[in-house]
Structure 1
Amino acid sequence: MVRDIAIIGDHFILPEMFEKELRKVCPHEGLNCRLRLEDWPNSPVNHGYSGDPDILIKEFIGDFDEVTAFIGNAEVLIMHQSPVTDAMLHSLPNLRFIACSRGGPVNVDVEAANRRGVKVVRAPGRNASAVAEFTIGAILAETRKIRIGHETMRKGVWRGDLYRADTTGRELNEMTVGVIGYGKIGTRLVKILRAFGCRILVSDPYVQLDISDLEAGVEQICLDSLLEQSDVVTLHPRVTEETTQMINKETLSKMKSDALLVNTARGPLCNYDDLYEALVNGTIGSAMLETFAIEPTPPDWPLLQLENVTLTPHIAGASVRTAQYAAQVLAEDVKNYITGAPLNNLCVA
């Protein structure tokens, strides 16, 4: 039996990579693979956080009609950030299986797929190591003055004064780091942080700490206490109704006046107007921002102009290993679907 498989990749996870990993685990299966390349990240995704009630999916790229036409009669769809809506599923009666290479397939209307009997799988933790490593780098760039030293030397200024006791940075082993969100990324980050010898606080009301973290002295406390006690606060929850703009004027006011806020998760977690005010008036000391309310950020966005902010263009999860691992995880579940084996990462709305 020949399986008709539509594969949509982009310049991060190429469609050829998806096909290569699939054929590795299904060497004897008849696979008719059709490939499509989207222009991301050269072209931005539609974030879908504007509140439009007609768009139930988030963070997608591709025209609905064009993607529907490409999928056509395929039984299986393998993709990264392509949109899948209820209306699209209505036009795709042969589609029975969707493999989305993301930790959370926010670009798929999973509830509609479940209702129509279409199975959806994902790639949980695909970039957990990449984001955790990046977060460590982000913290050090700010706390050890790497960013400001780099910027001034580029301008021909030698900041020898950064060796002064009143301007130099602090080591992680003397600091308290608060981790908000203890999922795949948060747990990985905590294990890396332990090697630095810092005090680690975790706030996540929906999970319990891993026994090894408990034995290592990691503490699980409420959000308010974490904000009050932490020298560094780093965000790692998913975007939900509960976590949207969880960093705002009220929560920022609970933080130390010299605290560093790190957001390598998602832009909607922060009220950026409130954060700007907090950084300008000294409510907190500095921020490292990797995700934003609007992406790409407008060139005149006020936060881009502040000297106490480190900025990167939403690249924390970008690594060669992330792309390869995500393709491998999906390939395994497509094989399981074809052979009738249990699925590893089934999504249920």
Structure 2
Amino acid sequence: MKISIYGDRFMKADIFEEVISKKLNSYDLDFLKKDIEWPDGPFHNDYGKDNFSKVKEYFGTEEDVVSIVKDNEILITDLAPITEAIIEKLPNLKFIGVSRGGPVNIDIDACKKNNITVVNAPGRNASAVAEFTIASILSETRLVTKGHQSMINGEWRGDLYRFDITGRELSELTVGLVGYSHIGKRVRDLLIPFGCKIIFTDPFVEKDEIDKKNNIERVSKEELLSRSDVVSLHARVTKETEKFFAGPEFSNMKKHSYFINTARGPLVDYDALLDNLKSGHLSGAALDTFDIEPLPGNHPLRKLDNVTLTPHIAGASIKTVYYAAEVIAEDLKNYLENKKLINKIC
């Protein structure tokens, strides 16, 4: 059985092959593999043009995809762009396993039209992003970033120990989670031992038993902004959530609070965020994603001393790679054995 793997330098083709081979050890497998340059080079962040107008967050060309899939029935990928035009050139393609939670690089309507089965890996990096979120919060609230940068600059910021400057412990704070699916709930689980007050807003999620046990409240977005010392964003990007956080939201946040974004850049109006950081209305922000990626070298955010900036790496961990490969391999086995698929999209 021939399997095409369009990997990259994170979701490596060799890892896919290793995991799939173990899962399908009774099959005679032949792999056609390729690793693209991402993340050393950025993917196409927004919707493309012409044939690529229905896909985003992809890396590669039509020729790249066609050359690796060829006449094979099965494609395993992370970032391959799958458009209707590409599908038309791959008449034997019947199964796509995409190792992402939101497979926005796949034209799902075109796959449905051509009877191609698509499975994904929801929550693949929930654990990684949740851990990173906690680190991001602490980097700002406990002045880790300020202290680190001062040391790099040859300074000794003893003043960071002053009562009027030093940070507050999480046990004193209210943390508001905007979006409460896989990642939001993982963040909750990690926050509970710190003893902070946790509130969340999500129109599609009700409180569960863990929430009830730990006195976690579901509130409106407006109430969350006014009460939270830390606001952490965990929503998906949709037409409704683009610029979900803009001038009014930042203005309504509690004075001297912190904003954390380990979700997606298009959710945020960064000009409005910049204004509120400069004015001191917000004490700080930890940002892993941006409206423009890579973030330009002269971007004004880089000049602020009250931000923690990272290059969209919250979801990157070794565990994420193996977990996503396992999830895809399991559904590939189900597909081949005509069993119910766990994470079927179409």
* Structure 1 and Structure 2 fold alike (TM over 0.5): yes
Contact in 1 for aligned 2:48/2:54 (Cα 8 Å):
no
- For residues 56 and 220 of structure 2, the distance between their equivalents in structure 1, rounded to whole angstroms, comes to 29
Contact in 2 for aligned 1:60/1:83 (Cα 8 Å):
yes
2:31 aligned residue: 33
Change (3 A) 1:281 1:52: farther
2:338 aligned residue: 340
1:82 aligned residue: 80
Contact in 2 for aligned 1:191/1:213 (Cα 8 Å):
no
1:149 is aligned to 2:147: yes
Contact in 2 for aligned 1:264/1:289 (Cα 8 Å):
yes
C-alpha displacement at 1:89, in angstroms? 0.9
1:302 aligned residue: 300
C-alpha displacement at 1:334, in angstroms? 0.7
Q: Secondary structure at the match of 2:328?
A: helix
- For residues 156 and 184 of structure 2, the distance between their equivalents in structure 1, rounded to whole angstroms, comes to 37
1:279 is aligned to 2:280: no
1:182 is aligned to 2:186: no
C-alpha displacement at 1:49, in angstroms? 4.9
1:329 aligned residue: 327
Which residue identity does 1:159 align to in structure 2? R
Change (3 A) 1:17 1:238: same
**Would you say how many aligned residue pairs link Structure 1 and Structure 2?**
346
1:227 is aligned to 2:206: no
Match of 2:17 among 16, 19, 22: 19
Contact in 1 for aligned 2:52/2:83 (Cα 8 Å):
no
Q: Percent identity?
A: 47
Q: Secondary structure at the match of 1:285?
A: strand
Gaps of 5+ in 2: none
Which residue identity does 2:157 align to in structure 1? R
- For residues 159 and 117 of structure 2, the distance between their equivalents in structure 1, rounded to whole angstroms, comes to 59
C-alpha displacement at 1:120, in angstroms? 0.5
Trace 1:1-349 onto structure 2 (pairs within 5 A). 3-49=1-47, 55-348=53-346
Contact in 2 for aligned 1:48/1:55 (Cα 8 Å):
no
- For residues 94 and 52 of structure 2, the distance between their equivalents in structure 1, rounded to whole angstroms, comes to 24
Change (3 A) 1:323 1:339: same
Gaps of 5+ in 1: none
Provide the TM-score with structure 2 as the length reference: 0.97
- For residues 236 and 29 of structure 1, the distance between their equivalents in structure 2, rounded to whole angstroms, comes to 40
- For residues 51 and 198 of structure 1, the distance between their equivalents in structure 2, rounded to whole angstroms, comes to 46
Deviations 1:156-195 (A, max 9, x none): 2111111111000000000000000011000111111111
- For residues 325 and 187 of structure 1, the distance between their equivalents in structure 2, rounded to whole angstroms, comes to 18
Runs of 4+ displaced beyond 6 Å: 50-53
Provide the TM-score with structure 1 as the length reference: 0.97
- For residues 72 and 125 of structure 2, the distance between their equivalents in structure 1, rounded to whole angstroms, comes to 28
C-alpha displacement at 1:286, in angstroms? 1.1
C-alpha displacement at 1:54, in angstroms? 5.3
C-alpha displacement at 1:300, in angstroms? 0.5
